[in-house]
């Protein structure tokens, strides 16, 4: 088993899907959290000046989706066939497309609020309608067992509901999927002990 070191801020953010995979799979790893005050110095030392970064023994992997995809493949959470893996990847990439529409780095509060409201009004319903249709009456998004696409949805849905508490009101199947993921014993244990942060 390799030694894993995951470096990110002390928030859920873009590293949380990887943390769900670690938790569910029972894999020990070093959760190296970067204090925001230390970030300027840490940033200068990084190849692309971005986190999260996963160190696997001596090899570093950047990009949160690449990290989660690698861990999912290593732990049997990527999908059972090449076709299932493509379906899982498509769901994750689609969720990311929509989540990236939010103005995460906007400094002006009024501009940030306006853009956020616009995304919720014009884009998020398209995402939720599509995901709800993909899920249908199944337990999980792809195949007959949980995959990291389900984890990624559960993580991102927390952020969506923090931004808009009623966003899942008309999507009971998606809300139930989030709850199924969070009820998995090892995921539930991680949620109980993780730092309580807004993002």
Which pLDDT value is given to residue 25?
Answer: 98
What long-range pairs does 115-123 form, CB within 8 A, spacing at least 24? 116/163, 120/163, 120/164, 120/167, 123/98
CATH number at residue 94: 1.20.1050.10
Given 4, 12, 14, 19, the catalytic residue: 14
198: pLDDT strictly greater than 90: no
Concerning whether 180 is annotated as a catalytic residue, the answer is no
CA atoms within 13 A on the CB side of 192: 7
Residue 137 lies in a domain: yes
86: pLDDT strictly greater than 90: yes
Concerning whether 140 is annotated as a catalytic residue, the answer is no
> How many domains does the structure of the chain reveal?
2
* pTM across the whole model: 0.96
Residues 37 and 101 in one domain: no
Residue 20 lies in a domain: yes
Tens digits of residue pLDDT in 125-171: 999 999 999 999 999 999 999 999 999 999 999 999 999 999 999 99
Residues 121 and 45 in one domain: no
52: pLDDT strictly greater than 90: yes
Residues 56 and 108 in one domain: no
CB 34 within 8 A of CB 20: no
Residue 29 lies in a domain: yes
Residues 94 and 68 in one domain: no
Given 4, 8, 24, 29, the catalytic residue: 8
Cβ-Cβ contacts under 8 Å for 182 (sequence gap 6 or more)? 154, 188, 191
Which structural domain range is residue 41 located in?
Answer: 4-76+186-193
Residue 92 lies in a domain: yes
Q: What is the mean pLDDT of residues 32-58?
A: 95
Residues 90 and 179 in one domain: yes
Residues 70 and 90 in one domain: no
Cβ-Cβ contacts under 8 Å for 151 (sequence gap 6 or more)? 17, 20, 21, 24, 68, 77, 181, 187
Tens digits of residue pLDDT in 172-194: 999 999 999 999 999 999 999 99
Residues 66 and 147 in one domain: no
Concerning whether 148 is annotated as a catalytic residue, the answer is no
């Amino acid at each position: 088993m390799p030694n894993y070191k995951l470096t990110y801020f002390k928030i859920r953010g873009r590293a949380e899907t990887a943390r769900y995979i670690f938790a569910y799979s029972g894999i020990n790893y070093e959760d190296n959290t970067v204090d925001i005050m230390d970030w300027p110095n840490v940033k200068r030392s990084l190849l692309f000046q971005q986190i999260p970064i996963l160190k696997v023994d001596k090899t570093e992997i950047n990009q949160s989706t690449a990290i989660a995809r690698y861990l999912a493949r290593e732990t049997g959470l990527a999908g059972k066939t090449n076709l299932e893996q493509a379906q899982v990847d498509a769901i994750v990439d689609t969720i990311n497309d929509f989540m990236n529409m939010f103005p995460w780095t906007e400094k002006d509060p009024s501009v940030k609020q306006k853009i956020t409201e616009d995304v919720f009004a014009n884009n998020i319903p398209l995402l939720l309608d599509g995901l709800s249709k993909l899920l249908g009456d199944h337990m999980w998004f792809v195949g007959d067992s949980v995959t990291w696409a389900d984890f990624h949805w559960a993580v991102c849905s927390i952020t969506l509901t923090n931004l808009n508490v009623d966003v899942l009101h008309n999507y009971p199947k998606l809300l139930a999927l989030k709850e199924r993921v969070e009820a998995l014993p090892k995921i539930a244990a991680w949620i109980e002990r993780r730092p309580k942060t807004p993002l």
